[in-house]
Amino acid sequence: MSGTADGSFATPTVVSQSAEFVCVRATQKVANHYKVKSVPAVVFTDPDGDEICRAPFLDESSLQKAMKTALEKYRNQPVLWKSEAGSTPKKLLVVGFDDEAGEALKVLEDRSIVKFHDRCEFVRLPARKDGEEAKKWGVTSFPAVVLCDPSQENPEKSPIEKLLGKKPTGAVKLAIQRALAKVEKK
C-alpha cells in the first residue's frame, strides 16, 4: 500500500518482478477499505479487487517475498474433476464436455476462475456427439460447459447456463459468477 523511505519499489529486481502486477500507491480511503493497520504494507488483489494476500515489508527482500507469495496464490490451477455428479446442494455443478484435443476445458484452470473452485463441483463427461451423456445434458456441440443448480431433482433438465463452443476466459468467469449468485442465493 505504501512505499518505504529506502525505495524498495524502485530497485531493479523489484521493478522487474513488478511487471506481473499493477502497482498503485493507495489513498487513505483504499487503506481503510482493506483495513490496513500498519505501514508500510502491500495488499495484493485480483482484478476484481478481492484480496489475495497482504504483507508488511521493511526492505527489498521482504517486498520480493510478498510478491512471490501473491504470485503463488494467484496462479492457474488444475480442476479436480469427478466422473459423476454428487449431491452438494450449496455448490455450483459445473459439467464439462471437452473437445477432441482435450484442451478446451483448461479455461476453467485460469487464475481468474480458480477462486471459485471451492464453490463448485466439477464433473467431466465423455464428449461423444451421439453419446448418452451428451443427449442427457442437451449438448449438441463440443466443447460445452453446463452450469447447474445441484439441488434441482434433475439439474440436466434445467441448467442455469449452457456454454457451447470454445469461450474466452472472461465469458466463462462471468457465467460462473452469475450461476453462483443464483445457487448461493437459496
**What is residue 66's predicted lDDT score, i.e. its pLDDT?**
92
Tell me which residue of 151, 185, 167 sits closest to 113, measured CA to CA. Answer: 167
**What is residue 73's predicted lDDT score, i.e. its pLDDT?**
92
**In whole angstroms, what is the distance from residue 113 CA to residue 125 CA?**
20
Asked whether 108 and 82 are in contact (CB, 8 A), the reply is no
Query: Which three cell numbers mark 17?
Result: 518482478
**What is residue 87's predicted lDDT score, i.e. its pLDDT?**
65
Residue 125 three-state SS: strand
**What is residue 24's predicted lDDT score, i.e. its pLDDT?**
87
pTM for the full model?
Answer: 0.83
Q: Which residues contact 6 (CB under 8 A, 6 or more apart)?
A: 59, 60
Query: Which three cell numbers mark 115?
Result: 477462486
- Please give the chain's pLDDT, 186 residues, in tens: 444 435 777 888 888 888 889 988 889 999 999 999 888 889 999 999 999 999 988 888 989 999 999 999 999 999 999 988 776 668 999 999 998 888 899 999 999 999 999 999 999 998 887 889 999 999 989 999 999 998 888 899 999 999 999 999 999 999 999 999 999 887
Length of the chain: 186
Fold of 81-185: Glutaredoxin (3.40.30)
Asked whether 64 and 16 are in contact (CB, 8 A), the reply is no
CB atoms within 10 A of CB 69: 15
Q: Where are the domains of the chain?
A: 8-73, 81-185
**In whole angstroms, what is the distance from residue 95 CA to residue 101 CA?**
18
**What is residue 57's predicted lDDT score, i.e. its pLDDT?**
84
Beta partners for residue 120, in sequence order:
92
**What is residue 4's predicted lDDT score, i.e. its pLDDT?**
44
Longest CA–CA span in the chain (Å) reads 66
Amino acid symbol at 1: M
